[in-house]
Amino acid sequence: MTIFFVTGNKEKFREANALLGEFDVEQVDVDLPELQGEPEEIVKEKARLAARKTGKTVFVEDTSLCFNALNNLPGPYVKAFVEKIGVKGLYELASKYEDKSAYALACIGYCEPGKEPLVFKGRVNGRIVSPRGDTRFFWDQIFIPEGHNKAFSEMSVEEKNKISHRKLAFEEFGKWLEKNKK
């Protein structure tokens, strides 16, 4: 069974392919609107729109970085925050608060055409630090996962894939696929 990952982000596709290795995953680049709302609502609607636009069984993935001191902002809007104020600006925003705790959340929306989307989530708690390392994704330089002393950007892809929010979400998604789609 082929499932289509709707993303224009080659790095996300590469990670998804590695994490869902036993499934046939193809990338489809479909222009989807930037939606607003809670992370689960956003990914559900994106999956529904992608299935409708392509006529295929698809999944989408959306990532949030949530600062506890800011009631979970920037959340699903982290990309827009980084585009406007940069990673350093995002760190400076968090640095104004005593509470530097945060969490990374990955939500996967899976949808078959004409059906209700399903959502799979992975969450990693951590803290915000000043930018360090190189970055593959927007905010990897400022997030250190709980129990670790390196930011995501300082980890190898393999190291990050063992503990990341995306890995946890894809693990749940993969279990569901194993059970329901083989």
pTM score: 0.92
Statement: residue 133 has pLDDT above 90: no
Rounded-to-integer distance, Cα 38 and Cα 41, Å: 5
Q: What is the pLDDT of residues 2-31, one digit of tens each?
A: 889 999 888 888 888 888 877 888 999 888
Break the chain into its structural domains and give their ranges.
2-181
Rounded-to-integer distance, Cα 94 and Cα 101, Å: 9
- Nearest Cα to Cα of residue 35 among 17, 72, 58, 62: 62
- Locate the DSSP E strands across the chain: 2-6, 24-28, 58-67, 74-75, 101-111, 118-128, 143-145
Statement: residue 182 has pLDDT above 70: no
Instruction: Quote the mean pLDDT of the chain.
Output: 92
> Hey, what amino acid is at 65?
L
- Percentage of the chain modeled with pLDDT above 70: 98
Q: Phi and psi (nearest 5°) for 110?
A: -115, 135
Tokens of 96: 């104004």
What local confidence, expressed as pLDDT, does residue 65 receive? Answer: 97
Statement: residue 81 has pLDDT above 60: yes
- CATH 3.90.950.10 applies to domain 2-181: yes
Per the model's pLDDT, the better-predicted residue between 135 and 155 turns out to be 155
Rounded-to-integer distance, Cα 33 and Cα 154, Å: 32
Contact predicate 60/46, CB 8 Å:
yes
What residues contact residue 155 under an 8 Å CB cut-off, 6+ apart?
none
Average pLDDT over residues 121-127: 98
What local confidence, expressed as pLDDT, does residue 168 receive? Answer: 95
